[in-house]
Every structure is written in C-alpha cells, then in structure tokens.
Structure 1
Amino acid sequence: TMVRWEIAHPPSPVPADVDDAMWYARMPPFSSPPLRVCETVPAAAGTDFVQLKGIQRKLSSSALTLSLGTCSKLDGTLFGALPLRRFDASALMPSVLEIGDSAISDCAFLESVCLSGLSHVKTIGHVVLCNNPCLRTISMPTMAALTRVGHHFANRCEQLACVEFPAQAPELVDVGRDFLAATPALRTVSVKGFTALATVPVGWFFHTGVDTCPIPSGALVLTGSFCCGCDHVREPDLGGLENTVAIGDHFFESCASLQAIDLSPLRSLDAIGPHALQECAALARVSGFDRLHRVMRIDEHFLHGAVALQEVSLTGMDALRSIGPSCFFGCRALRYVRVSNL
C-alpha cells in the first residue's frame, strides 16, 4: 500500500545548528517541474513528522513514495514543513481506519490531495488539511465509511476551489466546528450525502466563497454562524431544511450580496436565533413568514442593518409571541412591518 506525494523542490541539507522546521519553512519555492518517484521507504504504524523529516533529508530528488504497510492511523502525517505539491493516496489502503489530528496541514506549497484510497477511514481528526494556502482540490469521493470529522477541516485554504465528498456518507453523524471555513475561492460543493448529520456545527462554511447554500439533507439543528459571511450567496435555496427545528445565532449574517431569501422551508422552526440576517446590506426581500406557524419568538438583531429592505410582513406567524430588541435597527429604507397575533 503506497502513499505518494511530490516535494516542491529538492531538499537542501539542514545545517547542524538550525532547527529542522525553521529550515524547511524558509526554503524558497522551486520553479522547475517536480521529479517523479525516486525511492520507497517502509514506515511503521503511526509514522510521524519527525520520521518523515529524517527521510526527506536523505533524498536527492523531489518526490517520495511511502509504504504504509499495515498502518491503521495517519497521525499528524505531513504536518508543517514538508514543501509538498501533491498528496496522492488513491491506492486502496483497507488497513487505514483513521486520519489523526493535524494531518496534511500547514503545507505551504500543497496544491492537490487525493484520498480516494482511504475508503475504510471512519474518523478524521481535528485540524486536518488546514491552513494550506496553495491547496486547490480535495478528492475523497470513496470515503463513505466516515462517522466523524473533527474541528477545522480544510480551514483557511485560501485557494481551495473544488472538494469532492462521497455521494453517500450514511454513518457520518458528527462534524466539528468551522467546517471548510475561510475558503474564499470555494464556489460550489455538495454535502447532500451527509444524510445522518442532524446537527450542523458552528461555523458551517463560515466566510467561504460558496454561491449556493450547502445543506445536509438530514439537518435538524443549525448551531450557529450558518453560512455567515458568504459574500457570493444571493438567493439561497433552503430546501432540505424542512425538518429543522432550531437555528442558532448569526444565520446568514454579513452576506454582502444576499438579495432575497425565502424562509418558507423552515416550517418546523420554533425560533429565529439572534443576529439572523444581520448586516446584509443588499437584502431587499424576505418572504415565507406565513409558513412559519410554529415560530414563537424572533431574537434580537434580526435584520439589523438591512439597509435595502423596504417592507416586512410577519402575518401568518400564528405562534409568534415576542420580537427581540433592535430587530430592525438601521433598516433605513424600511417603510412598514406588518405583524399579527402579538
């Protein structure tokens, strides 16, 4: 079983008086095409970055193939200094069941990652594929056995444009906070296969470039900052949230291009959380309130700063009993709010 990656430039000898990590971090990018596989090195289970640094120091070319044998966990693999361009784990690796914390993170030159050979992996740890500024693609379409993805998955990857998830991940029940957050180049991604994910974590696609709203089909609770700061979202389709009973704070807050939103799919909702739709300066139309028959309260700062909004009709919200403070603060163009049953 092989994992292959390519190094952005030939490694230089590390002076005895210089820390390895500092040396690798400051090496300049290499302009010539990377060489291909040069040698195979056996690795024990749980290969860590220290071992990998030792391997890299011995290489004379710019690519490495690593044999994982019966390794069951990639724990912290390739964290930090290795100047990789491509990580290819497309060969089938049935023994690997877990990707540990901080794996394949902080790789300054990494451009693409293929994990299609890790079809038996059940758990992805925290801070995996995080802070890779040149990363453009992540391919993991065969990882249907996933049950948990940790915090900060693929967070702060500024050039990430394509992520391919499994069409079905029926056992994925837990995803950590800031999932794919701070990825401004990401436009479209499908998470419809996350059918068992009932609780959408805090920071779901926070400050990403998506122009459609990625919604797991089994979502019951949106815990907070759902698609907050997504500046390319204009008219999100909330279909798929028909069974959602709660949305946390900062729902679509600070989405600069948001022009219209239909809330009618949220018919099972009990309350609208604080700061929902706040500071959406282009928002001119909010509809669907007449389908929100179960909503009992609208919390503070709802629609705060929606300067383009001219009218709001809350009629038909039969269960509505309270509207929080500053809900329409700063709505300079607002002419009227229609309310009934208060």
Structure 2
Amino acid sequence: MSLLRVPFAFYRSGSSRGLFLQEEHVPARGAARERLLCKLMGSGVPGQVSGFGGLTGPTNKVMIVGRHSQSGWVTMDFNQVAVDVPKVDFSHGDCGNMLAAVGPFALEQGLVEPEINGQKATVRIHSANTGACYEAEVALNKHGVEYQGDTAVPGVPGTFAPVHLAAVGVAGSQTGALLPTGRSVDLLEADGLHWEATLVDFARALVVLDANAVLPAFGYSELTEITLEVARNDPKLCAALEAARRQASKAMGMGDCAGNSPKLALVAPTTEANSLACCYFVAPERQEMHPTIAMTAAQALGAACLLEGSVAWKALGKTPTVRRSMVIALSC
C-alpha cells in the first residue's frame, strides 16, 4: 500500500481545534474526501489512536482552505468529523470557532494577497458550506502573522493576538430566511408539553427555548443545573428536546433533520446587564451538549436578541443596540 502524504497545519482556533488543509492537496467533495478526513482524524478507531482527533466534537474538525478567483479572497470548506464512526456531518454548516484560524492559515500558506492596513491584514472568506462571506482582520508583525497578544478565550489557557471577524450575508444561511416561519415566536410540542420557541437562521439554524419554561417539568429549577454530565445522564430531558428540535426542523423547511441541524439552545435571564445564560446542545438525540458554544450559534443567538418578542429577547430583558456587545454566559 502506497503512503499518502498530505501537508497540514494543526490549529487551536477559538475553543476548537483541528486540521487545516489546502484544497489542492485533497480530493474533491465526495466519498474519497470523506474517507481521507476520517482516516486523518482516526474516526471510528478506539481512542482515535491512529489520527489527530481529540475524542470530542470541538476537537474533531477539519477546515479545507482554497484559493479564490477574486483577489483578497479565499474559500473555506468546514468538515465536522464524527468521533465513533467514520463519517462527516455535512449538515453542520459553518464553524465560527474554526473560522478564526482561516485568515492566519491562508496568509501563512500564501493563498491570498490580503488588504494591508498598517499592522493588520484583511482576508475575505467565502464559505463553500453555506455561501456566506466573512472578513477576518489578522494582526501582523515584521515576520508575518502575529500570534502573541493579550486576548483571552474563556476555557483556553493563555492569551493571544485577536482575530476580528465580521459576517456578511449570513441571514438565512441554511434555510434561506432569517425567520424561516416568518414569526419571532412559534409553539412547539414535545411529550404533551408546549413551549414557545424562536426559530432563527443567522449563520446557523437554531432553535431557542426558554429554560425556565422547559426545565421544571424534568425536576430542574435553574439552567445552571444542566451540565455536560447531567445531559449525558438524563435521557428524558434530551428525548423531549430532540422531539422539539425535529418538530422545529420541519417548521423551518429542513425536513426531518436526520443530520444535526438545526441546533438547539436553552436560554435564561441572568443578574448581569446585557447578558443571558445559555446551554447549547450539539445533538440532544445523543445526549450531547457543547462544552462551550459554536460561534455561529452565538451569532444566531445574538440576532435573536435583536428580534423584539423573541425567546432570546425576553431572556435578555431588552433590545441591545447593534453596536453594543452582549455576554452569553455558558451554564456548562
């Protein structure tokens, strides 16, 4: 058997990590590419001992970056590789955490002629997953990309140079509309329970539920009680959330969501101004919570907070101004 050599970079990007590959070094989209990515990550192998995977969703990712026909642009193709089985989830959409390293990787590999402004380079990125466009502002030094800085990422030790990201045209990236049902609040039913939900699509299709309406039926009084371990050991809660997610998927025009989109988040008020608490589920069916939150989901949640009357708007307590930041406090 011949040895296949694939050049790569290994980045911690946001609160995720994974391989970064050049498009020209891998097969075109299809079965051959999927097999290669699964082999690189060790998917389906006990402990992923034969690959670069880290046994969790956030540490089992591959980003493929290519040249673009327009100057100053690159293409990206995100791949969420499974851990236990050799499979890629093509329903995932974009990954905001892995997006952070696309600009630095493209600059390091000479894939783009960026727009330079002093000690900053702007790399424009087109997503092959969703068609969305992003702008990444990357810090530079005299040698190239600057990685050292004072910016901290919660849950990640150390500080680093920031990468500023702007999303362009991400409304309706998976369904074609910011509000696929045309309403800021819909009613979902699960196991005889009725919950208000906001079904939003902004960088990611997301189902937003009020934690204070959902959790009491399962014996919880606060969102902070829901941890990764609790989710893994509460099949009744997760089954109800999965039923709501599947109902929401049909309402959003996404079918029976045999894949993993839309995602689901529980939100609740906090005592802090401009803040709401959040618990984000990767796949309720697998009783799998995210240890943090996908940045695309954070964008969707932020957009929902701007929609008067939405579940997120009610949890935040007011409409944030477009230029004011808000805090998403993670319960897990």
Q: Which has the higher helix share?
A: 2
The bucket for the TM-score relative to the shorter chain is: under 0.3
Q: Which protein has the larger Cα radius of gyration, Structure 1 or Structure 2?
A: 1
The alignment's TM-score, normalised by the length of structure 2, stands at: 0.25
